[in-house]
């Protein structure tokens, strides 16, 4: 039995959808803090509140493989540890969605991922780690606002991003959860091609016929732009730090592993732009 945590979230729903193409629905369990939100998933839904370990243990009972989709809570390291412990207790293989180069990058965003990976490896649980690069969908608000603003803002310089769609990463997770030969592996997953923020602005301009340019800003100024757009200040600081690390090449690797796992090309950023604006 395969258990998907965070199954009512954006990535979790896509993973469940992919799994249903590969195995009978009876072999899939969706775990969620609020089970009612998963009523439309077409599989059994169990409650798993990361802050209530007994619900996580119950949700994972009988599992042979567990997908731990990393959370967003400030306490997520402790929450991740709860799922790791429950998977170990159930005798299940754990698959974890981490961050690119989590063990070496200086990016603030990766700190909890690095600590979670270390906890997983020390726990003795059988594991596979999926280090997902950026999702195209992360830039939805940027893309939709750019034609009106006439600009894409950032602090990434000419750094490049090898992003892919959430659906691409979901397909890779489903392939690992239903396949063999992945135990103990750490996969760096990314899109087939890279793009710069100036490339993104050019794609938006080409689709809309409006002038859109990339405005590269100092980190602190970009953080203020993000705060002005409604992001909480701590998260804006993390996202501005992501751009600084993009400029250093953090998200530019294209090893082709994502395509190998899914058996299909990844979604280019231009295609995503057209899906939003065309």
Give residue limits of the domains in the chain.
2-132, 136-161+192-253+267-277
Return mean pLDDT, the chain: 97
Tell me which residue of 138, 170, 235 sits closest to 7, measured CA to CA.
170
How would you classify the pairing of strands 65-68 and 28-32?
A: unpaired
Cα pseudo-dihedral 227, 232, 234, 237, rounded to 10: -30
Residues 144-168: pLDDT tens digits?
999 999 999 999 999 999 999 999 9
The set of residues, in sequence order, having a beta carbon less than 8 Å from that of 134 and lying 6+ positions away, is 161, 162, 163, 251
CATH class of 2-132: alpha beta
The answer to whether the predicted template modeling score (pTM) of the entire model surpasses 0.85 is: yes
Cβ contact 275:205 at 8 Å: no
CB neighbours of residue 214 within 10 Å:
20
d(CA 268, CA 36): 34
Q: What percent of the chain has pLDDT over 70?
A: 100
The set of residues, in sequence order, having a beta carbon less than 8 Å from that of 183 and lying 6+ positions away, is 93, 126, 127, 128
Cβ contact 188:253 at 8 Å: yes
Tell me which residue of 164, 182, 237, 233 sits closest to 67, measured CA to CA.
182
Stretch among 53-67, 69-83, 181-195, 246-260 having the lowest mean pLDDT: 69-83
The set of residues, in sequence order, having a beta carbon less than 8 Å from that of 118 and lying 6+ positions away, is none
Residues 248-259: pLDDT tens digits?
999 999 999 999
Fold matches, 2-132 and 136-161+192-253+267-277:
no
Q: Output the pLDDT for position 197.
A: 98
Structurally, at CATH architecture level, domain 136-161+192-253+267-277 sits in Alpha-Beta Complex (3.90)
């Amino acid at each position: 039995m395969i258990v998907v945590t965070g199954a009512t979230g954006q990535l979790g729903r896509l993973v469940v959808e992919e799994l249903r193409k590969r195995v009978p629905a009876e072999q899939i369990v969706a775990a969620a803090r609020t089970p009612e939100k998963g009523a439309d998933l077409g599989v059994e839904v169990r409650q798993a509140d990361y802050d209530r370990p007994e619900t996580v243990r119950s949700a994972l009972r009988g599992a042979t493989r567990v997908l731990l989709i990393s959370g967003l809570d400030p306490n997520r390291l402790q929450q991740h540890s709860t799922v790791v412990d429950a998977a170990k207790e159930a005798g299940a293989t754990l698959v974890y969605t981490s961050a690119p180069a989590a063990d070496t990058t200086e990016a603030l965003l990766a700190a909890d991922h690095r600590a979670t990976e270390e906890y997983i490896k020390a726990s003795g649980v059988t594991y596979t780690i999926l280090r997902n690069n950026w999702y195209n969908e992360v830039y939805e608000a940027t893309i939709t606002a750019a034609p009106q603003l006439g600009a894409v803002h950032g602090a990434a310089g000419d750094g490049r991003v090898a992003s892919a769609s959430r659906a691409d990463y979901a397909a890779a997770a489903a392939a690992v959860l239903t396949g063999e030969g992945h135990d103990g592996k750490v996969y760096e997953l990314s899109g087939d091609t890279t793009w710069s923020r100036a490339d993104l602005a050019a794609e938006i301009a080409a689709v809309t016929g409006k002038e859109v340019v990339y405005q590269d800003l100092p980190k602190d100024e970009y953080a203020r732009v993000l705060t002005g757009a409604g992001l909480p200040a701590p998260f804006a600081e993390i996202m501005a730090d992501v751009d600084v690390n993009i400029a250093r090449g953090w998200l530019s690797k294209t090893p082709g592993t994502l395509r190998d796992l899914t058996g299909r090309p990844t979604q280019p950023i231009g295609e995503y732009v057209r899906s939003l604006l065309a």
